[in-house]
Structures are given as structure tokens and as C-alpha cells.
Amino acid sequence: MFTQTLTQRVLRSPLVDLLTGPHGVDRYTELVDPTWTAGDARAKVIAVRRQTSRSVTLTLAPNQAFTGFRAGQHINLTVDIDGRRRTRPYSPASAEGAPYIELTIGRHDGGLVSNYLYEHARPGMIVGLDSVGGDFTLPDVRPRRILFVSGGSGITPVMSMLRTMRAEGSDREIAFIHYARSTEEACYRDELDAMPGVRVLHGFTRSTAGSDLAGRFGPEHLTAALPEPDAVFVCGPPALVEAVREYCANVSSESFVPPLFDLPAEASGGRVSFTDSGAELVDDGRPLLEQAEAAGLTPESGCRMGICHSCTRRKTRGAVKNLITGAVSSAEQEDVQICVSVPVGDVDIAL
């Protein structure tokens, strides 16, 4: 431990910063081992298993730069695919404070990162842990009677909450309803069934064999699991979240919805937010740079023809189209040249 701290202190010293400038010490140490970085949180994949035919479970060993997460939060995972860094939020299923991070990633049609990881993840692979976020967390004072509800790959954040409480030796009354299409697609089934002190109910919605519950979430499911809970944590498709909210009070929820957009003929009429300056406007079809300037902002810019990259900004949400190449950037967290990019629907730009 002493040597670790000493190494950290030496690596972060102003002298080492000067000697390794302007690139910084991480740009050298990472060439020896990609996880030897003091500033960039990264992790090494140490185990890969496929619990079901539609998911992959990764065990990650994070480096020292990773500062942890709270049960229920998501981590923005970065992976290089065909030379491009892709970022996707995934909620760990492991307990808060556990030495390893466990991710269970459900593959879905057209899902670039989920399919890539399903097919290519292997021990030794390095992934980036870009940032941690999300308000879907347990209160510090744990409620007395808790109901967890999850659907499909939404199981991971509630699994993390459940495991965290069990690691704490919690005496709370806990029930867990998990919905999957069939028994084959139910992740963590064996672990849940073997868990003492938790009432676990499975709902299989397509192949109902082995299902504890019939149909979709409703009053009967609630009665069977835990009537009148103090708090409910639900993660899954929007329809499931809505159903739970209809019958329960004090519901915390999270839902993953894939973005949908149509290419605009002209102005998309979308809402454009320049998040750093707080300006909001309605897309008029012109390049983002011109719209920002029309709104009284003065972002850095240069050639205004897509060659000099002076105007490059991070697009944090939504999609834009590059007028020169016609390429649509739809992934969150991509750098775009605002002088030649027009919005495709609602878009947030860090400007």
C-alpha cells in the first residue's frame, strides 16, 4: 500500500508533470500497460461469460483512477470499434464498493456496442470508464420495505442495489420481480433463486413456462410480491415503468429508450440547446455555427467550410448531419464541426 501511494505521489508531482510535458505522464505509462493511468479511468476485462443467448456479462478490474459509483448509477463505457471510440452508458450489476465491476449487456438489433461486446469481448481487453452518472440510487437511509422491479436488461441497476444491501447485511424486507421474455433469457436467475431473505418472482412474457406470474405488471403481481411497499425501484421499458407508477407510490425509475429520428428535408424544427451558455433556440436549418451566432454567441470558428476544425464542439445529445459529407452523427458524445453541421431534431451542443 505504501509503495502504491508513493508511486501515485511521484507520478502526480509537478516535477514529473514538467518532465513529461506537454503530454503528461499517463501518455507514457499507458504504453507499458494501458491501465497505468492516473488521470484516465480505465478497466481490464478479466472474465467474460454469456448467461443467456442475448447477453454478455463482463467482469472488469478498474484502475486506480476510477473513483467508484453508487448502486443504480450508470458508467459511460468507451470501446474502440473500427478505430472509433464509442461511448455507451451501462449500469453495473455489482455491489457498490466491490473490487470488480460487473456489467451485463443485453444485445439488441442494430446495437453497435452491445453486439460488438457480445461478439468480441475477451479477457485482457481494455475499456474506458468515461464518467459516472444517474440519479436512480438508493436513499442513504434505506427504506424498510423495498420492492425492486426490472424488465430485460434493466435488471442490472436493481441487481446492484440488491447486492449492495445484502453486502451491508441489511435487515430490510425486500421483494424482487424480474420480467424476461422466457426462462432462457432471465439473467441472474440462479443467484436470485439462491438468495435467502428476498422474495423473488419471475414473470416470463413470451414463453410462460416456469413463470411465477401471469402477464404484465398489475395489482396481482404487487400483492404476490410485496403489498404497499415503502419504496419501489423500477428499471425497464417505459411501459413497465408506467404500469408500476400507476399502482405504487414513492417510485424511483430509470428507462433506456433508443433514439429515433428522421432525416429532415429542410429545417428540422428541433430544439437546439447550447448547454454551456444556456441558449436555446428552434432549428432553422442553417449550420449550428450560424445559428449560435444569430443567438448572439461568439464560438471560436475559422474557415466556415469544414476544413480547419477551429469550430469543433462536443455534441452531448441528439443527432446532426454534416453538410459536406452527408454523414449523420447520431451517437451521444461526439465531436462535430458546427460550421458544416445542421441539427437532425433536438440536439445539445457543449457551447
H-helix or E-strand spanning residue 80: strand 74-81
Do 315 and 337 contact (CB within 8 A), yes or no? Answer: no
Using rule CB under 8 A, residue 18 touches another protein: yes
Range in contact with another protein (rule: CB under 8 A) among 27-35, 58-66, 209-217, 238-246: 27-35
CA-based torsion, 186, 259, 76, 276: positive or negative: negative
- Of 326, 320, 323, 318, the closest CA to residue 340 belongs to 323
Q: Which of 191, 334, 346, 348 binds another protein (CB under 8 A)?
A: 334
Q: Which of 80, 171, 193, 242 binds another protein (CB under 8 A)?
A: 80
> Please, what is the minimum distance in Å from the beta carbon of residue 312 to another protein?
6
Q: Which of 12, 28, 97, 133 binds another protein (CB under 8 A)?
A: 28
Range in contact with another protein (rule: CB under 8 A) among 4-12, 170-178, 228-236, 296-304: 296-304
Range in contact with another protein (rule: CB under 8 A) among 50-58, 186-194, 232-240, 328-336: 328-336
Q: In sequence order, which ranges of the chain are alpha helices (DSSP H)?
A: 2-11, 14-19, 26-32, 112-120, 155-167, 189-193, 219-225, 238-247, 288-294
Rounded Cα distance between 213 and 201, Å, is 7
Q: Which of 310, 316, 346, 348 binds another protein (CB under 8 A)?
A: 310
* Angle (nearest 5°) at CA 342 between 337 and 343: 115
Q: Binding string, 252-291, against another protein, x = CB under 8 A?
A: ----------------------------------------
> Please, what is the minimum distance in Å from the beta carbon of residue 92 to another protein?
23
> Please, what is the minimum distance in Å from the beta carbon of residue 233 to another protein?
33
Q: Which of 1, 3, 21, 257 binds another protein (CB under 8 A)?
A: 21
> Please, what is the minimum distance in Å from the beta carbon of residue 40 to another protein?
8
> Please, what is the minimum distance in Å from the beta carbon of residue 327 to another protein?
8
Q: Which of 1, 31, 141, 209 binds another protein (CB under 8 A)?
A: 31
Q: Residue 22 half-sphere exposure, CB side, CA atoms within 13 Å?
A: 0
Using rule CB under 8 A, residue 202 touches another protein: no
- Of 279, 280, 278, the closest CA to residue 270 belongs to 280
Q: Is 92 exposed, middle or buried (0-12, 13-18, 19+ CB in 10 A)?
A: buried
CA-based torsion, 138, 64, 38, 82: positive or negative: negative
Q: Which of 49, 85, 122, 144 binds another protein (CB under 8 A)?
A: 85
Q: Which of 7, 51, 64, 87 binds another protein (CB under 8 A)?
A: 87
Question: Phi and psi (nearest 5°) for 28?
Answer: -100, -50
Range in contact with another protein (rule: CB under 8 A) among 154-162, 206-214, 229-237, 307-315: 307-315
Contacts of 156 (CB under 8 A, 6+ apart): 90, 91, 92, 93, 103, 104, 235
> Please, what is the minimum distance in Å from the beta carbon of residue 79 to another protein?
11
DSSP secondary structure letter of residue 68: -
Using rule CB under 8 A, residue 46 touches another protein: no
Rounded Cα distance between 47 and 316, Å, is 31
Contact residues: another protein, CB under 8 A: 15, 18-19, 21-23, 27-28, 31, 78, 80, 82-87, 302-310, 312, 324-325, 327, 333-335, 337
